[in-house]
Amino acid sequence: MAATANPFSVSVSSKPTGGSAFPKLNDSADFFLRVQNPLKSVSLRSSFVSRGSIELSLSRGGGSVTSAKRGARSARIRASLSQVMDQSVTKTDPIAPTTVDVDLGDRSYPIYIGSGLLDQPHLLQRHVHGKRVLVVTNDTVAPLYLNKVVEALTKGNPNVSVESVILPDGEKYKQMDTLMKIFDKAIESRLDRRCTFIALGGGVIGDMCGFAAASFLRGVNFIQIPTTVMAQVDSSVGGKTGINHRLGKNLIGAFYQPQCVLIDTDTLNTLPDRELASGLAEVIKYGLIRDAEFFEWQEKNMQALMARDPSALTYAIKRSCENKAEVVSLDEKESGLRATLNLGHTFGHAIETGFGYGQWLHGEAVAAGTVMAVDMSYRLGWIDDSIVKRARDILQQAKLPTTPPNTMTVEMFKSVMAVDKKVADGLLRLILLKGPLGNCVFTGDYDRKALDETLRAFCKS
């Protein structure tokens, strides 16, 4: 089934159609909705927030439950369905964004998703603290979107002044010398504690700008404007920031949450095909580890995603953000559950580090790493061969690699994996699939022979 422009069907009632417990909202005109998308249905309590938008709280039922999800509380998610609900919106009204909330107590924040969001200055301006802004971007993105962002920040807002720093583009620049350029610019511009840093770009820019924001004057406000699928569905959400060390990826950094994430899907119009595919590796990951229905939707809609069908992309981004937001709200500092988001990443990081940062895109390395993790899960007898095939097939549909580069050796994998962040007291823990599609485990309790066999199967030496 192809994605449609409106993946939702909606029915309205004055009381909930399900038995879910709804969180309290400060609202006066509540009603209840049953929203059905092609793959699942949820009950929602809603309130009108403004003309053309409604705010929804939902208690997610159904869907896949991963092994690591036991005991999970229901996540609170708000979504605007103005496109669905309000047929009387005039053409000059801006379209209200879809909003996914990351629920982290006093560090909660919204993810805005939609087309043309950079043309709605109030979305950004409401999250800027102080009068000084530093936009951190790179030499690929700056010519395309920097002026647009500066305009969104300053339109009707003459008191704000905007500085920018333009870094070289690429994973190989995600290191200390480049990070120092952000500090140099911030200090030379005499920015103070009430300034706001804005990351405009992909995952590398988001990670570096976030770590700079965490560390500048011991922490300043921070906004993410991700412009790649990879950053929109994964790296911009959840507060992981950092830089690489020559011996390993993301070894230096901080957990630091943004004020908001603004995803203008129009920015994907300029994204190279290879970058698009790289981001889809993370979308596929959510399906494999915790959302079988989403995986099945992807199997049916991969061609639409590859063809950049706007509503298919918007749906995939929204559902990915919902998955990530739920995991992050349950385990911000990665004591367990959150680590499951790293399916394929331990093998993938080894490829990135061993093969040289920037040779392969992150998602490409993750794709090959995912196939290796799935292979190992099968060797352990934890999944049946249909999952192995479906995982490989969907990655191939997305034109992603399913084997590591020829030059990678067993020793290169082992050497990099030994300094992985998931090693604890010398024991390497891995994310592996176990059980039906959509279930995984994060464990150090596996037969070492299976790991060795997988490495030998995927390496020539």
Pick between residue 188 and residue 384 the one whose CB is nearest to a copy of itself.
Answer: 188
Site string for a copy of itself, 239-278 (x = CB under 8 A): -x-x--x-xx-xxxxxx-----------------------
194 binds a copy of itself (CB under 8 A): yes
Query: Of 293, 334, 352, 364, which is the active-site residue?
Result: 334
- Of 179-187, 277-285, 344-352, 394-402, the segment contacting a copy of itself by CB under 8 A is 179-187
Choice from 188, 273, 393, 411 touching a copy of itself (CB under 8 A): 188
Tokens read off for 91: 């053409």
104 binds a copy of itself (CB under 8 A): no
238 binds a copy of itself (CB under 8 A): no
Site for a copy of itself in 76-95 (CB under 8 A): none
**Can 148 be counted among the known catalytic residues?**
no
Q: Whole-angstrom Cα distance, residue 390 to residue 228? A: 25
**Can 245 be counted among the known catalytic residues?**
no
Structural contact between residues 187 and 373, judged by C-beta atoms closer than 8 angstroms: no
Q: Which residues contact 289 (CB under 8 A, 6 or more apart)?
A: 66, 340, 341, 343, 431, 433, 438, 439, 440
Pick between residue 327 and residue 391 the one whose CB is nearest to a copy of itself.
Answer: 327
Q: Whole-angstrom Cα distance, residue 220 to residue 166? A: 19
Tokens read off for 21: 């417990």
* 239 phi/psi in degrees, rounded to 5: 85, 5
* 215 phi/psi in degrees, rounded to 5: -100, -25
Structural contact between residues 207 and 240, judged by C-beta atoms closer than 8 angstroms: yes
Q: Whole-angstrom Cα distance, residue 11 to residue 24? A: 21
Choice from 424, 445, 460, 461 touching a copy of itself (CB under 8 A): 424
Query: Of 69, 127, 185, 338, which is the active-site residue?
Result: 338
- Of 264-272, 353-361, 395-403, 424-432, the segment contacting a copy of itself by CB under 8 A is 424-432
Structural contact between residues 210 and 256, judged by C-beta atoms closer than 8 angstroms: yes
**Can 429 be counted among the known catalytic residues?**
no
Site for a copy of itself in 322-351 (CB under 8 A): 333
**Can 334 be counted among the known catalytic residues?**
yes
- Would the CA dihedral through 81, 318, 274, 458 be positive or negative? negative
164 three-state secondary structure: strand
Tokens read off for 184: 């140099």
Choice from 93, 139, 151, 192 touching a copy of itself (CB under 8 A): 192
Choice from 69, 174, 185, 421 touching a copy of itself (CB under 8 A): 421
**Can 282 be counted among the known catalytic residues?**
yes
Paired sense of beta strands 240-245 and 248-255, if any = antiparallel
Residue 348 C-beta-side C-alpha neighbours within 13 Å:
30
Pick between residue 177 and residue 385 the one whose CB is nearest to a copy of itself.
Answer: 177
How distant is the alpha carbon of residue 9 from its chain centre? Answer: 26
Choice from 187, 269, 273, 457 touching a copy of itself (CB under 8 A): 187
- Of 91-99, 185-193, 281-289, 304-312, the segment contacting a copy of itself by CB under 8 A is 185-193
Q: Which residues contact 123 (CB under 8 A, 6 or more apart)?
A: 97, 112, 117, 152, 260, 262
CB atoms within 10 A of CB 6: 13
Structural contact between residues 217 and 242, judged by C-beta atoms closer than 8 angstroms: no
Count of residues for the chain? 461
**Can 240 be counted among the known catalytic residues?**
yes
Rg over alpha carbons for the chain, rounded to the nearest Å, is 22
**Can 342 be counted among the known catalytic residues?**
yes
**Can 324 be counted among the known catalytic residues?**
yes
Pick between residue 196 and residue 228 the one whose CB is nearest to a copy of itself.
Answer: 196
Pick between residue 248 and residue 348 the one whose CB is nearest to a copy of itself.
Answer: 248
Give CA separation, 293 vs 70, 181, 246, 281, 450, in Å: 18, 44, 39, 17, 29
420 three-state secondary structure: coil
Size of the site for a copy of itself (CB under 8 A): 40
Pick between residue 216 and residue 360 the one whose CB is nearest to a copy of itself.
Answer: 216
12 binds a copy of itself (CB under 8 A): no
Site for a copy of itself in 123-162 (CB under 8 A): 130-132
Least distance between a copy of itself and beta carbon 228 (Å): 22
Pick between residue 97 and residue 248 the one whose CB is nearest to a copy of itself.
Answer: 248
Least distance between a copy of itself and beta carbon 255 (Å): 5
Query: Of 55, 171, 275, 282, which is the active-site residue?
Result: 282
Q: Which residues pair with 138 in a beta bridge?
A: 167
Pick between residue 318 and residue 421 the one whose CB is nearest to a copy of itself.
Answer: 421
Query: Of 174, 249, 362, 379, which is the active-site residue?
Result: 362
426 binds a copy of itself (CB under 8 A): yes
Q: Whole-angstrom Cα distance, residue 23 to residue 61? A: 14
Catalytically annotated residues: 218, 240, 282, 324, 334, 338, 342, 345, 349, 362
Binding site for a copy of itself (CB under 8 A): 130-132, 176, 180, 183-184, 187-188, 190, 192-194, 211, 214-219, 240, 242, 245, 247-248, 250-255, 333, 418-419, 421-426
